[in-house]
């Protein structure tokens, strides 16, 4: 008997199989369908056309730090779809920086090279303006963390590699705005959706996108040299006598998107020397000159058929449409305690999840998270390790990270040096620790699925508090921050040729 007929031979119309399938084409059951000829073959869509084109900028073509670039969407299209920002910038390496001979090990030179997501650091924020109102502001950290949870692994890897190039190469960045399509990439014909902004239903309003660049970088760069442990033989957490010191013992602590990627040569020790710990020092050098070369914007522009266009404009009560949206809370005063409570009362979205990222010290990680709505705990205290990847998977999101291969002699991952006189030899176990200068990216779920019907309307709560517990005391510095991105949906009402945010 062929395996293809086993299901037929075993069918008796009872049990789980009897509740799931039938071998009768007609009968009392009205929900029977064929897997060979079904709604995917019979459903029709309204005709539309789509093209990925460049959006022209207005104003000066000069690119300056502290400046901006404004793009105006053509009013001859019906729907604005996915948007991509294209940047070109130069991040020169800082070569042959002399290191002082502190402690028993030192000397030689090291090099500072662009860190992962260095190009993201060029953009301060992106504003989406409809008519005279700014509907959404994407902070640079919002762009990074949302993309890390919504881009698949290949797209995220390409983006992270392109944004860390030290030559003026072209980089593309997905702007996860309210126009971003949310349907599966390989959806069936009857599952296709376009989540763009329906300009056809609001033809009397202009749509503009403003890219605001960060302020100029300082002319100097500060590099911290950590504790160096040297021994005559290779051992866990130690440097072999005469070997190059791994770059993990160095870190760039000033406001520059650079990491140290090669260390100085270790001094030779005599056979009688024991393991010796050198002091932590900081040195300031002339920073490389970073330049902006190009800024372009591309978008999916869609044209509908006349019937659909006119139907949208003629709805007497208007056309309500749910849009993807984000809101942001950025904290630079991280304090000096093991916990931090963040006020999120301004969050008002129909939210499905909150993304947490930040940097509160070179050896301080995120231990646990608790969300309180009107003083009541939403999920209790959740460990950070649960929110690192598992929470993303349960919501249909990704947990993309940049993993670094270790340069330690024993293959271990050494921590970046702290400002203390000694360095902890305990590995942090945080994959993203050196990828963008923070403690990682964590997803706190408010719903069962991302953008799902079990989302929480945060505008219904008067008090929203997020309590973060760290693995140690937070350290306030120029690089310290905590970023909270609220992700969810809002509703826009298209009526009488104009659009407005009707409700959150």
pLDDT in tens, 149-179: 999 888 888 887 788 766 667 888 999 998 8
**Best CA proximity match to 200, nearest among 49, 351, 375:** 49
Report helix angle 140-150 to 153-162, nearest 10. 140
pLDDT above 70 for 100: no
Token pair in block for residue 363: 């050896």
pLDDT of residue 156: 86
State if pTM tops 0.75: yes
Instruction: Give pLDDT tens digits for 43-74.
Output: 889 999 999 999 999 876 678 999 999 999 98
Longest Cα–Cα distance in the chain: 92
Q: Which is it for the CA torsion 490, 495, 500, 504, positive or negative?
A: negative
Structurally, what CATH architecture does the domain formed by 48-217+290-422+429-503 represent? Distorted Sandwich (2.70)
Distance CA 492, CA 504 (A): 9
Beta-sheet pairing, 229-231 with 239-240: parallel
265, pLDDT greater than 60: no
61-67, Cβ contacts within 8 angstroms, sequence gap of 24 or more:
63/213, 63/292, 63/293, 63/294, 63/295, 64/213, 64/292, 65/213, 65/214, 65/215, 65/216, 65/217, 65/292, 66/213, 66/214, 66/215, 66/216, 67/212, 67/213
Average pLDDT estimate for 311-339: 93
pLDDT at position 202 over 80: yes
The rounded mean pLDDT for the chain is: 81
**pLDDT at 287 > cutoff 60:** yes
Q: Write out pLDDT tens, residues 425-455.
A: 333 333 333 445 578 899 999 999 999 999 9
Rounded to whole angstroms, the Cα distance separating 172 from 295 reads 10
Query: What is the per-residue pLDDT across 475-494, written as a single tens digit (0 to 9) for each?
Result: 888 778 999 999 999 999 99
CA distance 159 to 163: 6
Q: Where are the domains of the chain?
A: 48-217+290-422+429-503
In this prediction, residue 112 carries a pLDDT of 78
489 neighbors 324 (Cβ within 8 angstroms): yes
262 pLDDT tier (thresholds 50, 70, 90):
low
Centre a 10 Å sphere on the Cβ of residue 476 and count the other Cβ atoms it contains: 13
Give the confidence band of 2 by pLDDT, cuts at 50, 70, 90: confident
């Amino acid at each position: 008997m062929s395996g293809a007929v086993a299901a037929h031979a075993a069918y008796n119309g009872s049990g789980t199989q009897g509740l799931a399938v039938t071998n009768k084409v007609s009968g009392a059951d009205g929900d029977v369908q064929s897997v060979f000829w079904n709604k995917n073959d019979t459903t029709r869509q309204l005709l539309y056309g789509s093209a990925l084109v460049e959006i022209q900028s207005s104003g000066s073509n000069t690119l300056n730090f502290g400046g901006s670039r404004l793009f105006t969407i053509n009013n001859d299209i019906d729907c604005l779809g996915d948007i991509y920002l294209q940047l070109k910038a130069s991040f020169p390496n800082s070569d042959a920086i002399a290191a002082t001979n502190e402690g028993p090990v030192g000397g030689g030179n090291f090099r500072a090279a662009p860190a992962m997501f260095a190009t993201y650091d060029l953009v301060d924020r992106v504003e989406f303006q409809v008519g005279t109102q700014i509907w959404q502001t994407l902070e640079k950290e919002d762009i990074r963390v949302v993309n890390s949870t919504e881009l698949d692994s290949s797209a995220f890897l390409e983006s992270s590699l392109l944004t860390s190039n030290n030559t003026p190469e072209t980089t593309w960045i997905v702007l996860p705005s309210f126009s971003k399509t949310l349907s599966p990439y390989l959806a069936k014909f009857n599952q296709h959706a376009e989540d763009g902004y329906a300009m056809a239903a609001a033809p009397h309003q202009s749509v503009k996108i403003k890219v605001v660049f960060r302020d100029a970088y300082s002319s100097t760069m500060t590099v911290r040299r950590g504790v160096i442990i040297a021994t005559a033989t290779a051992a866990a957490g130690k440097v072999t006598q005469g070997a190059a010191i791994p770059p993990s013992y160095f870190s760039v602590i000033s406001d520059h998107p650079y990491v140290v990627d090669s260390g100085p040569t270790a001094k030779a020790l005599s056979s009688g020397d024991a393991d010796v710990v050198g002091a932590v020092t900081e040195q300031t050098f002339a920073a490389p000159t970073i330049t902006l070369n190009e800024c372009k914007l591309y978008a999916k522009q869609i044209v509908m058929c006349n019937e659909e266009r006119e139907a949208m404009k003629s709805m007497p009560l208007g056309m309500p449409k749910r849009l993807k949206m984000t809101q942001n809370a950025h904290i630079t005063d991280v304090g000096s305690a093991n916990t931090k409570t963040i006020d999120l009362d301004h969050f008002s979205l129909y939210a499905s999840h909150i993304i947490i990222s930040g940097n509160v010290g070179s050896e301080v990680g995120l231990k646990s998270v608790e969300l309180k709505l009107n003083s009541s705990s939403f999920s209790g205290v959740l460990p950070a390790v649960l929110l690192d990847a598992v929470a993303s998977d349960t919501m249909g999101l990704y947990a993309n990270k940049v993993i670094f291969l270790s340069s330690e002699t024993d293959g271990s991952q050494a921590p970046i040096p702290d400002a203390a006189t000694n360095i902890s030899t305990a590995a942090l176990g945080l994959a993203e620790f050196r990828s963008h200068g923070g403690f990682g990216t964590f997803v706190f779920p408010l719903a069962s699925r991302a953008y799902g019907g079990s989302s929480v309307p945060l505008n219904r709560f008067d008090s929203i508090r997020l309590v973060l517990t760290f693995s140690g005391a937070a350290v306030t510095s120029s690089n310290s921050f905590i970023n909270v991105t609220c992700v969810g949906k809002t509703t826009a009402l298209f009526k009488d040729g104009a659009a407005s945010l009707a409700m959150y």
